[in-house]
């Protein structure tokens, strides 16, 4: 306060009175960043032209990012992320996908490439994750703005190999098995029957060795590998390298159709659906029918698998008799 106290006291009293009647809840709410995918402003045409001239010297203006996440699909121990372009005028050369746990402050790169789909592994069940994607224009170095983050999670239990089997060592998450000696039995099973009809089970070979009779398979009982109830794919290297192939067996009987040989980086997928399972017509001669599709290197074999009894879930396994084979399951 400056000068005398009479008039200034009156001003101070008036100011204090007004301040005491301000309602704090009348202030506008500040939104979260994820709720504001873009900013907009109303400008006079003359000002707008000046602003546009300055901006276009350094870049471009878009109403939204050129790509966005369109689908998140849960997998055992993973999430399939699919994205798409939403700006037809934008020509994408590469995409960049990042993710993080919702409790984390930092995103990490998980994929950079030209595909518009990627499966993110090492996902803990029933934990929320955020995903975002951006793109790089054709011939450019800089990345576009990020898409609005999308939240996804998986409720499915991860596939795991059984720990403690002699001859195999496992990764920390028990989804990678390495055959490290040939002295013990070569058969390794899943920890539990975690494969259900309607899902896709994938084996990816990350390391191989030159040895025949290596198999990956599904079975309805861990004790049935040497019995009969299993569809499997067996790598059978012939003397002629041009004729290397993978044979397909159903209940121990080799099928006519074959798949390409398994090499490092190859994937083999099993897809199974019930055929009239659970209806009055599901029994053919005391058997239950499942339709199995085994795919590898853009080729597939489809057949009907007959079981003596219905099963809600299946075990998976592998049989490597020589060291050097490493396989990831998801």
pLDDT confidence bin for 169, thresholds 50/70/90:
confident
Summarize the confidence of residues 83-88 as an average pLDDT.
88
Give the model confidence (pLDDT) of 201-244 as tens digits. 998 887 766 665 678 888 877 665 444 445 666 554 433 444 56
CATH architecture of the domain formed by 67-152? Sandwich (2.60)
Fold of 168-329: Jelly Rolls (2.60.120)
Do the two domains 67-152 and 168-329 of this chain adopt the same fold? no
User: What are the extents of the domains in the chain?
Assistant: 67-152, 168-329
| pTM recorded for the entire structure | 0.66
Q: Check if the beta carbon of residue 196 is closer than 8 Å to that of residue 315.
A: no
Which SS3 state, helix, strand or coil, does residue 222 take? coil
- Give the pLDDT score at 280: 44
Judge whether residue 94 has pLDDT over 80. Answer: yes
- Give the pLDDT score at 6: 62
- Give the pLDDT score at 238: 37
Q: Check if the beta carbon of residue 83 is closer than 8 Å to that of residue 67.
A: yes
> Rounded CA gap, 321 and 187, in Å?
8
**C-alpha distances out from residue 267 to 83, 179, 185, Å:** 23, 18, 24
Judge whether residue 150 has pLDDT over 90. Answer: yes
């Amino acid at each position: 306060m400056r000068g005398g106290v009479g008039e200034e006291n009156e001003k101070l009293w008036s100011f204090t009175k007004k301040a005491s009647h301000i309602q704090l809840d009348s202030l506008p709410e500040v939104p979260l960043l994820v709720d504001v995918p873009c900013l907009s402003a109303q400008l006079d045409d003359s000002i707008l032209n000046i602003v546009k001239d300055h901006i276009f010297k350094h870049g471009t203006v878009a109403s939204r990012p050129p790509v966005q996440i369109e689908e998140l699909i849960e997998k055992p121990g993973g999430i399939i992320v699919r994205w798409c372009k939403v700006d037809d005028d934008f020509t994408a050369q590469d995409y960049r996908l990042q993710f993080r746990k919702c409790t984390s402050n930092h995103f990490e790169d998980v994929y950079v490439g030209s595909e518009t789909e990627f499966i993110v592994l090492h996902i803990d069940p029933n934990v929320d994750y955020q995903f975002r994607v951006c793109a790089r224009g054709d011939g450019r170095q800089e990345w576009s703005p990020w898409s609005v983050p999308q939240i996804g999670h998986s409720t499915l239990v991860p596939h795991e190999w059984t720990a403690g089997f002699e001859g195999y060592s496992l990764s920390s998450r028990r989804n990678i098995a390495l055959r490290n000696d040939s002295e013990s039995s070569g058969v390794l099973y899943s920890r539990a029957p975690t494969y259900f009809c309607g899902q896709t089970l994938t084996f990816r070979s990350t390391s191989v060795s030159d040895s025949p009779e290596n198999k990956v398979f599904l079975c309805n009982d861990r004790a049935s590998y040497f019995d009969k109830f299993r569809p499997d794919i067996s790598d059978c290297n012939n003397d002629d390298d041009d004729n290397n192939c993978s044979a397909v067996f159903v209940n121990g009987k080799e099928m006519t159709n074959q798949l390409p040989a398994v090499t490092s980086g190859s994937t083999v997928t099993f897809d199974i659906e019930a055929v009239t399972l659970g209806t009055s017509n599901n029994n053919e001669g005391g058997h239950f029918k499942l339709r199995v599709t085994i795919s590898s290197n853009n080729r597939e074999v489809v057949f009907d698998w007959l079981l003596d009894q219905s099963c809600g879930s299946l075990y998976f396994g592998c049989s490597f008799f020589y060291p050097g084979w490493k396989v990831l399951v998801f």
